[in-house]
Chains A and B, each alone.
Chain A
Amino acid sequence: MKNDLKNMLVLICRIFLGFLFIYASLEKILQPEEFAKQVGYYKALPFGLENLLAIVLPWTELIVGICLLAGLFVDGAALLSIIMMLVFILAISQAMLRGIDITCGCFKVSADSEKLGLHTIIRDIIFLIMSFVVLNRQERKFEYLPKYN
């Protein structure tokens, strides 16, 4: 019974994070220029690398989301999810500490998207914990690639 509950929790986290990453990736994939500018406002990357990040990161989010939902490479996807959340938390914290008053660019890239704040950090910490739950699971349920048995 206890294991059933654990498996259920893992599955809920997986599905939630899966949809979350897919949702977060869509507008960024559709509007790369806006997203690149948004990354630039954080003033955290040298040499104009914000463009390369804006080209690649949305696809990483999309693929991680699909992997988590479809049960493919769940370990790798969960670890990447952890790394992304850590990077997001760092990026937001440094911007807030330096008093950079910008919008988040987390889900929406348009002018009316939400401002950075403590709530964006807390939200990412929750997603970080959920990613740990997935990576640290005991049993593999509904996972299809690679095959473990």
Chain B
Amino acid sequence: MGKYGKFGILMAIIVGSLLWLATAGISGSQTYYKSIAELRQMGNKAQTHHVRVGGDVQANSIVHEAAGVVEFNLVQDKDVLRVAYEGRDPLPDTFRDGAQALAMGKLGPDNVFHATEIQAKCASKYAPKPGMAPDALQPKAPGAASSSSL
């Protein structure tokens, strides 16, 4: 075998094993980005796949259940989703009534979304202060780190 053959085989082994690593078990690493309406249309898939949904936390809907479970309603364009947060980490401070939240998890058979992770952006951060015109700073979209620099 020529030296180029050896190089070719070595490279093929490397690239091949990387491709294998990249594709094997990829489904376990995938998170589907869905709106609440789309989540409803997923059918059984919503119960087996990891999904991320976003929306606003409905006011006065946050209930602290026993055993650390927190339930609340997520609202997106009039669609309402009941979410039960069962994760280990405490909820972020930005999580409160009216906040924009992202919930990661799976839909349960009870039609409650069982989230293992919650991210929240505090919608009030760019809200006007008293005495300030309401739309003064609105075009700066609310974002947890919109003033971040990288």
Does A pair with B?
Answer: no
